Structure 1
Amino acid sequence: MTEVRVPTLGESVTEATVATWFKKPGDAVAVDEMLCELETDKVTVEVPAPSAGVLGEIVAAEGETVGVDALLATINAGEGAAPAPAAPAAVEAPAAGGDSVDVMVPTLGESVTEATVSSWFKAVGDTVAQDEMLCELETDKVSVEVPAPAAGVLAEITAPEGSTVDATAKLAVISGSGAAPAPAAPAAAQAPATATTPARGDVENAPSANKLMAEKGIDAANVAGSGRDGRIMKEDVLKAALAPAPAPAASAPAPAAAPRAPVAAEDAAREERVKMTRLRQTIARRLKDSQNTAAMLTTYNEVDMTEVMALRNQYKGDFEKKHGVRLGFMSFFTKACVHALKEVPEVNAEIDGTDIVYKNFVHMGVAAGTPTGLVVPVIRNADGMSFAEIEKAIAEKGKRARDGKLSMAEMQGGTFTLSNGGVYGSLMSSPILNPPQSGILGMHKIQDRPMAINGQVVIRPMMYLALSYDHRIVDGKGAVTFLVRVKEALEDPRRLLMDL
């Protein structure tokens, strides 16, 4: 008897709802034939049969909510369990060496349709334990580790390092034992190549894909199947429906493909060409989109950091002893910005079509540089946090960002952003907006400068502040008022306590 369990749903997704069963108890099923469809809060996941046989008991009925790895049904070996004729070798392999389990791409998150296999932690023939990390995928937003769905032996790697896979692709096969599943691999690998186009008529598409094609009036001949043997999946139909017309698609890459200026042969020999990571490509695209969309303007001011530095030096020892985290400057800036956003709410708003959406909360984005590029983890409900809670959240998010462990959910939903270029020595810059936000505050290096105070020239620790804002929604008066309120709160932190 083989158990059918909920597959890995992706980081931060812990449960799903059983939407539809395509089979009923007593029906014969083939390997990889779709049994049911699960719905999460992000995507729809189809569950294939892990082995051929007869569907025994359905444990989770339609409409039930199930967790990751929960038992959905059982498959019994028995008569009428003949596999589909298209892939006999792949079906016979489990009988010889134990059941085999496909390792699929986990849920990548909303709007993410593909990923690049960055590294494999295991090689073919290695023994793996359930939930042991097999490989790491790199999307245009985060890195995703793929755990083993079952214990066994890594029999086949179908997506080597560097390859690009879609959200429904198979990455590898785990055999239940080490009894030489390799002979099945060539047949399984060869089948899609031969069945994708000529033998497609013999392959049964996913029921949800057939339903969606009928609803949208899409011809199956115009859809490239990514499932086993060229099977058309629901995601394939969605891609086909969203695909642009052939002519624009062909011409779209033209601007990016502009030829380089001629390079001397001796210089070319000393150059190194490295493919941009998906994260870096996304950063480049989003920053340029921000410039093309928003009416971006930057206003500047300077702040005397004397009082904040004195307060920090006086209490940082007691603060760390009590709260277990260092007292930095970010909590002061976060508090000051929250204070200013209450007075100038348009800086904490966004444009949606012809509407302005005002946010009665502050989800503070904190830009962080990582070895792979710039990311912006979000501190949710920062307006209700204490200094200690803010410092702890920033420290935890920063560590996860540097380790590449941030989930997509942790980088979405921000309403305003802080960018601290001062940690790298920047004295002045104009930060770029993080769409759809309407404001971002750039912090810079603290530098001793001579200042005129009460008719006297004194040396003070000064910092330049830069507020970039979307002039479509924020007027100059609002931007300057926001920056002045931040300056006032930092130069006299007591104002934060009195809400002045």
Structure 2
Amino acid sequence: MATEIKAPVFPESVADGTIATWHKQPGESVSRDEVICDIETDKVVLEVVAPADGTIAQIIKNEGDTVLSNEVIAQFEEGAVSGATQTQAVQSEEKVEQAAAKTEAGAAPVVERAQPVADQAPAVRKALTETGINAADVQGTGRGGRITKEDVANHQAKPAAAPLTAAVGERIEKRVPMTRLRKRVAERLLAATQETAMLTTFNEVNMKPIMEMRKQYKDAFEKRHGARLGFMSFFVKAATEALKRYPAVNASIDGDDIVYHGYYDIGVAVSSDRGLVVPVLRDTDRMNYAEVESGIGAYAAKAREGKLAIEDMTGGTFTITNGGTFGSLLSTPILNTPQTAILGMHKIQERPMAVNGQVEILPMMYLALSYDHRLIDGKEAVGFLVTIKELLEEPAKLILDL
């Protein structure tokens, strides 16, 4: 029985999407709830799964096509397995058996020659084009020797037998289209620089007290809560307390109105393969350190797997970004509009510091607060950042709510 496969119902903030990858092709059998297609929006990648066991009968929307909410993208045959698929499976099994028999007899195993690029699935053709890999150089492990996306990735990951050198005078360029997510990130960042009066103020924090506390309690913390104790939970809790003291930093501008938020939803910027995403921790004033660390860990895992949902990134009253994980010593983060401030963390680096008239080597971190000067005055911005500095340098105040 033929069934229509439709795109998911997109949230109101998402107008349409683009077919990113078809994981299954017409004639291929699939299992119930198996991912058959990825749809990329300007915020997240949505997975489309098979409604039942069966076969992809027809693909209506190809890779790169734009789709609307609930639009039909393919036809599905429930409970059907095509004869071609069965034949390919039998042939594949026979070839494996032949290869095994020859190997046992001392002969070299049979290697199935990859089919030409024109005969490959659209997702594979796209991967070959983007990586510049010749289809003839890839060993296909799919049915009938077809190349899979994993085959392309594995081939790309192999070290080259000899370094590739360009001919004298040859200048190589590769042109690939921007993903929808990357384009959306670019649009938002550009709008933030053009539509806000953005200014950045800096300070530095002595990380020694937190590092010593973390060293002393990290094992017991992980054993008790099942989460690794990192630095981010201290920054989230310190920022939450500072937001309570400086409400304008937790506000946003809506037209001619200022919206003061009576809650604290802090976004944590995460870099993924598809671009920068900002999942949001909700009600951080009600979260303990373990809940913050667990929440960040869960979001990081979902970002790596491309499984962040739109609701994970909706809203947010303040953002923290940590360029220090990549070695950044100092930067000026760009606002995540409509928020009016963002805190930038950086690399911890030992530096000579003057302490009570003596020179000490301390692990220091530069902090950067970018803010919208239309709403936040310099006095408030500096006070906010100094509050975070003081709470981090004396974490007992943070824990005891002093």
- TM category (shorter chain) comes to 0.7 to 0.9
The answer on whether the counterparts of 1:301 and 1:466 sit within 8 Å (CA) in structure 2 is yes
Structure 2 residue runs without a partner (length 5+) = 85-167
Q: d(CA) in 2 for partners of 1:321 and 1:150?
A: 41
**Could you tell me how far 1:111 is from its partner in structure 2?**
2.2
Note if contact 1:158-1:171 (Cα within 8 Å) is conserved in structure 2: yes
Counterparts in 2 of 1:310-389, with a 5 A limit?
310-389=212-291
Residue equivalent to 2:177? 275
- Provide Cα deviations, 1:102-128, integer angstroms capped at 9, x if missing partner: 111111222212212111121111223
* DSSP-derived class of the 2:37 partner: strand
Cα gap change, 1:459/1:161 in structure 2, threshold over 3 Å: closer, same or farther?
same
Query: Is 2:25 aligned against 1:135?
Result: no
So what's the TM-score if we normalise by structure 2? Answer: 0.77
**Distance change >3 Å, CA 120–CA 452, structure 1 → 2:** same
Q: Give the Cα–Cα distance (whole angstroms) in 1 for the partners of residues 231 and 287 of structure 2.
A: 15
More helix by percentage: 2
Mapped partners of 2:331, 2:169: distance in 1: 33
1:201-216 to 2 correspondences below 5 Å: none
Letter of the 1:483 partner, please give it. L
Inter-partner Cα distance in structure 2 for 1:458 and 1:170: 66
CA offsets 1:170-189 (integer angstroms, 9 cap, x no match): 2110123549899xxxxxxx
Tell me how far apart the structure 1 counterparts of residues 308 and 208 of structure 2 sit (CA, whole Å): 35
Paired position in structure 2 for 1:296: 198
Corresponding residue for residue 104 of structure 1: 6
In terms of Rg, which structure is larger? 1
The 2-side partners of 1:271 and 1:339 are apart by: 50
User: Greater RCO between the two (CA within 8 Å, min separation 6)?
Assistant: 2
| Counterparts of 2:213 and 2:82, CA distance in 1 | 68
Residues 17 and 67 of structure 2 are in contact (CA less than 8 Å); yes or no, is this contact kept in structure 1?
yes
Cα distance in 2 between the residues matched to 1:451 and 1:178: 72
How far has the Cα of 1:267 moved from its partner? 7.7
Residues 29 and 81 in structure 2, CA contact (< 8 A), matched pair in contact too: no
Aligned length: 320
SS of structure 2 residue aligned to 1:327:
coil
Instruction: Provide, for residues 359-378 of structure 1, a one-character-per-residue CA deviation record: whole Å limited to 9, x for no partner.
Output: 11110100001111110000
- Structure 1 counterpart of 2:295: 393
Percent identity reads: 53
Write out aligned runs for 1:243-258 (5 A).
Answer: none
Q: Write the letter of the residue equivalent to 1:129.
A: S
Counterpart of 2:381, as a letter, is A
Q: CA deviation at 1:166?
A: 2.2
Please name the residue that 1:447 is paired with.
349
TM superposition shift of 1:355: 1.3
Q: In 2, distance between residues paired with 1:290 and 1:455?
A: 43
Counterpart Cα distance in 1 of 2:284 and 2:273: 26
C-alpha separation between the residues in 1 aligned to 2:333 and 2:395? 25
**Contact 2:28/2:82 (8 A) holds in 1:** no
Aligned mates of 1:273, 1:179 — CA distance in 2: 39
1:165 is matched with which residue: 67, 75, 98? 67
Aligned residue number for residue 147 of structure 1? 49
Per the normalisation by structure 1, the TM-score is 0.62
User: Equivalents in 2 of 1:414, 1:268: separation in Å?
Assistant: 48
Give the unaligned 5+ runs of structure 1.
1-98, 183-265
Alignment correspondent of 1:463: 365
Q: Deviations over 1:126-181 (max 9, x none)?
A: 22333222111111111110012343321101112222222242211012354989
Cα distance in 2 for residues equivalent to 1:114 and 1:267: 44
